[in-house]
Amino acid sequence: QKEVEQNSGPLSVPEGAIASLNCTYSDRGSQSFFWYRQYSGKSPELIMSIYSNGDKEDGRFTAQLNKASQYVSLLIRDSQPSDSATYLCAVIRRGGADGLTFGKGTHLIIQP
């Protein structure tokens, strides 16, 4: 079963606050994890990748992975109106040739 689950939202966060996005996955064979941002009508854009347990920081973004709990999260610090988008969680199973399995995404709204 290749299932990735996200709360569809919308998640409304005030400008300047921390936005927290969550994702769970069912396939314990998954070994690579990604967060994509998708603006309305546009294609997904990769913003973070994480491969091992713990935190990974890149600018205002922090990805967190807990393989034991099969849980991935994305934190966005100092949220800006331009962060308003749908955030897609994606995983690749061991081997990876059959591509990414995506969640349905969380719609994030940053309120000015």
Partner 1 sequence: SQTIHQWPATLVQPVGSPLSLECTVEGTSNPNLYWYRQAAGRGLQLLFYSVGIGQISSEVPQNLSASRPQDRQFILSSKKLLLSDSGFYLCAFAGTGVTEAFFGQGTRLTVV
Report if residue 92 touches partner 1, rule: CB under 8 A: yes
For partner 1, give the closer residue by CB, 68 or 98.
98
Rounded distance, CA 102 to CA 90, Å? 4
Pick the binder of partner 1 from 14, 29, 42, 57 (CB under 8 A). Answer: 42
CB under 8 A, 24+ apart: contacts of 78-81: 78/16, 78/18, 79/13, 79/14, 79/15, 79/16, 79/17, 79/18, 79/19, 79/110, 80/15, 80/110, 81/15, 81/110, 81/112
For partner 1, give the closer residue by CB, 1 or 43.
43
The contact mask relative to partner 1 for 44-83 (x = CB under 8 A, - = no) is: xxx--x----------------------------------
For residue 89, the minimal CB distance to partner 1 (Å) is 10
Rounded distance, CA 32 to CA 10, Å? 26
For residue 23, the minimal CB distance to partner 1 (Å) is 12
* Residues near partner 1, by CB under 8 A: 31-32, 34, 41-46, 49, 88, 90, 92, 94-105
